[in-house]
Amino acid sequence: MHVARSRRHGAPGKWPERGVEPQIQIGGVMTVATGTRQLRAWCVLVFIALASAGATQTLIGKRIELFQDSLQADLMGLVQVVEYDAWEPANQTVPALGLSDDVSWVRLKLDSRSENGQLIEIQNAGIDELTGYMVCDGKVIATYNRGVLQHESNEGAFGTYPTFPIPLVECEELYAVFRMKSTKPLLLPTRIAGPREVLNDAHQRDILFAAYFGVILVMLLYNLFLFFSVGDRSYLEYSLFIFMIGGTQLVLNGYAPYFNVEAWPWLNTRITHFFGVFSGLTTIVFAQNFLRLSRYVPWLHKLLNGYFIVYVVALVLAISGQLVWAYNVINFCAAAIFFLIPGAIITMRKGYSPAKYFLLAFSIFIVAVLVFVMKDAGVIPYNVWTFFALPLGSAIEMVLLSLALASRINQLKKESAHAREEQLRISQINERMVREQNTKLEERVRDRTADLEEVNTNMRTTLEELQSAQQQLVQSEKLASIGQLTAGIAHELNNPINFVSSSAQSLRRDFEDINTIIELVKAMDPSEANLDEQVNGVKEKLSQLDIEFTQQEIEELLNGIEDGTIRTSEIVKGLRIFSRMDGDNFIQAQLNELIESTLIVLRSNFKDAALLQLDLGEEMPPVMCQPGRLNQVFMNIITNAIQAMDALGRDVEENILAITTDRVDSIGQAWAEVRIKDTGQGMAESVKSQIFDPFYTTKPVGEGTGLGLSIVMGILRDHNAEVEVESEEGVGTEFTIRFPL
């Protein structure tokens, strides 16, 4: 016969929610008096309920026989299992089968005359698979499925614990055989009682757990309210702690089906493990932050951080289906609660007063755990008081932790008030010191101001002197350039002028000889008889004067005078271009013409010092510039190049000055490019980086002011030109100047 069951039969209506209305101070802090009233009211309710629960229950664990040989049992029939000779007596009031993946079998011999019509109640609501068989004289007469995962049969149960009706039959031998398997420890507190007694006890448990759930709900909502009101993270952590601890108790005592967990078999199998993991995690987080372990007991804070990793391992095992291993790891992690006691003691001794509430709360909870364990081990009687030790201990723990939070907030307020008072005292001291310092500072400022005014006057005078000196140096540089320019022009003009002058003297002598011949010719008279003698005299004179040479010399002298005048004209033209003055106006000019005019002016400087290689690009477009200032740029760079090569004392053939112009395109921009390259001694990188700095020079004292290239850079900036300098010691230097078109 197959009998179905339900979770509640004849159960009362709603759970009586019995809580205490919280009281709130300004700032959302629960007073100690309010928490004490909550604890007192709940304890009175529990006392009344437990007192009405009756005497100690009679457990029949020592009548039970066990064996865990699932392989042979599965191969045998059920009747053979009953008659199997491997049964061993439990010899315990509450048999403990431990944690195993094996199927466990339990046999209980019944008295069909005195016990029929009663119920066998196994007070463990967490067994995954539990099937009960009633065997009368070797025949199975009833089958009951009561496991957590066997929710296909839902009728006939009393309360949250699995119950098995004893049939009203007469048998010579009546056995109750149970096949069970679970991923949680198998504890079998078993009793035989009448249906009314079982149902009354179930109702009393429901009332107690309704009260327990009411406390959990009140504490949860209250602390969430405080969290949203005050914003203190500790209230949120405590709310999560309450939810996980309360949920764990409800699941362990068989109330998960009230929340329709059976609809999700995967979750239903693992819900106990999940609550175990997350209740442990929330306990550690709450304890770490509440006790300020990172500040007061850092070694314990680090140790508890290690438990996070172990809990994560347990969670992964539970998700992957290794439920037995997961439960063992969770039990191992549960030992972390014992570390909280010395942590609370150390914190309390360091002056943190809320730790005393924490210490009391967890001490009570640990005592409740010990009572619960000793009850299962048979050390103390199994009754309602010992059974409810764990929920009662956790409820008292939660209330005391609420008091601890209130004490913590009060201490924080005191510390904050003390800090404000200390800050005010320090502020007043600082204010007095500031006033005193201000007086001293005002005196020092007056003295310092007078000193600064004197220094400022001296600096102004020094600046004016420096500016005057700079102007003089710039003027000196200009005068030096003008002197160099004048010397070059004088030298260039002197050569053709001297040639013309000397040619004129020679030409005068030649003309005197020609005039002599002309006079002789003019003196001839055809009417005279000695005409032949006169002609012979002229011929003789022509022969004496070598008139053919004189004619040739005159031709050469005239050509030389013409060349000299042309050369002089070119010099004057170049000088006119070089000295062109346009003020600050920008006009279009040819770079090739500017370079040629500069070379004409400087020709005398490099004629005997270097060879010139000139490669001026054809069809160079004009650029907008100030021609006079650009001539100054070219003259300065070319002069420096000539001086750098001449200083080496080499042959002229080794000193090469190369000047190139061209049009280039770069990054979408057209440029007119000028390159001036020499074969001088070159420069080191440290020297090259400073050549455009004012007053920087490598020439001996008295040979340069160091302003030439600084002036060059200023002129090129005014023309939006780019300049690059490439130099290598022992090879030479190249200046590349680009003007935008």
Residues 524 and 608 in one domain: no
Q: How far apart are CA 255 and CA 251, in angstroms?
A: 5
Interstrand relation of 656-666 and 611-616 (parallel, antiparallel or unpaired): parallel
pLDDT tens, position by position, 420-466: 888 888 888 888 888 888 888 888 888 888 888 888 888 888 777 77
293 lies in some domain: no
- Of 122, 174, 115, 173, the residue nearest 146 (C-alpha): 122
> What does the pLDDT read at residue 738?
92
**Residue 92, Cβ density class (10 Å: 0-12 exposed, 13-18 middle, ≥19 buried):** middle
Amino acid at 238: Y
Residues 568 and 591 in one domain: no
Residues 551 and 664 in one domain: no
Among the three residues 578, 611, 640, which one is the final residue of a domain in this structure? 578
Residues 516 and 661 in one domain: no
Residues 3 and 101 in one domain: yes
What is the pTM assigned to this prediction?
0.48
Which residue range(s) make up the domain with 496?
A: 463-578
As given in the structure block, the two tokens for residue 318 are 């539970």
Average pLDDT per run of 10 along the chain, which is 741 residues long?
Answer: 36 34 35 47 49 61 82 61 81 82 87 86 86 88 85 63 89 89 84 89 84 84 84 83 84 78 80 86 87 88 89 90 84 82 88 84 84 70 73 82 76 75 83 84 82 82 72 62 63 68 74 78 73 75 74 74 71 61 73 85 76 87 87 87 86 88 85 91 85 75 69 87 89 92 85
CATH number of residue 683's parent domain: 3.30.565.10
43 lies in some domain: yes
111 lies in some domain: yes
pLDDT tens, position by position, 326-373: 888 888 887 788 888 888 899 888 888 888 888 888 888 888 878 877
Residues 563 and 593 in one domain: no
Among the three residues 227, 260, 288, which one is the final residue of a domain in this structure? 227
- Of 489, 485, 487, the residue nearest 477 (C-alpha): 485
Residues 119 and 215 in one domain: yes
237 lies in some domain: no
> What does the pLDDT read at residue 157?
66
Residues 668 and 559 in one domain: no
Residues 644 and 562 in one domain: no
Residues 6+ away with beta carbon under 8 Å from 29: 226, 230, 406, 409, 410, 413
CATH number of residue 67's parent domain: 2.60.40.2380
- Alpha helices of 546-586 — where are they, by DSSP H? 547-578
Q: H/E element holding 660?
A: strand 656-666
Total of domains in the chain: 3
Q: How far apart are CA 393 and CA 337, in angstroms?
A: 14
Q: How far apart are CA 458 and CA 159, in angstroms?
A: 103
**Residue pair 167/142 in contact by the 8 Å Cβ criterion:** yes
Residues 705 and 606 in one domain: yes
**Residue 411, Cβ density class (10 Å: 0-12 exposed, 13-18 middle, ≥19 buried):** middle
209 lies in some domain: yes
641 lies in some domain: yes
- Of 191, 188, 190, the residue nearest 97 (C-alpha): 188
Among the three residues 528, 559, 578, which one is the final residue of a domain in this structure? 578
> What does the pLDDT read at residue 31?
41
406 lies in some domain: no
Residues 522 and 480 in one domain: yes
Measure the CA angle with vertex 499, ends 496 and 503; round to 5°.
Answer: 140
88 lies in some domain: yes
φ, ψ of residue 459 to 5 degrees: the values are: -65, -40
> What does the pLDDT read at residue 14?
34
**Residue 194, Cβ density class (10 Å: 0-12 exposed, 13-18 middle, ≥19 buried):** exposed
Residues 71 and 211 in one domain: yes
> What does the pLDDT read at residue 410?
74
As given in the structure block, the two tokens for residue 410 are 């009060």
> What does the pLDDT read at residue 665?
85
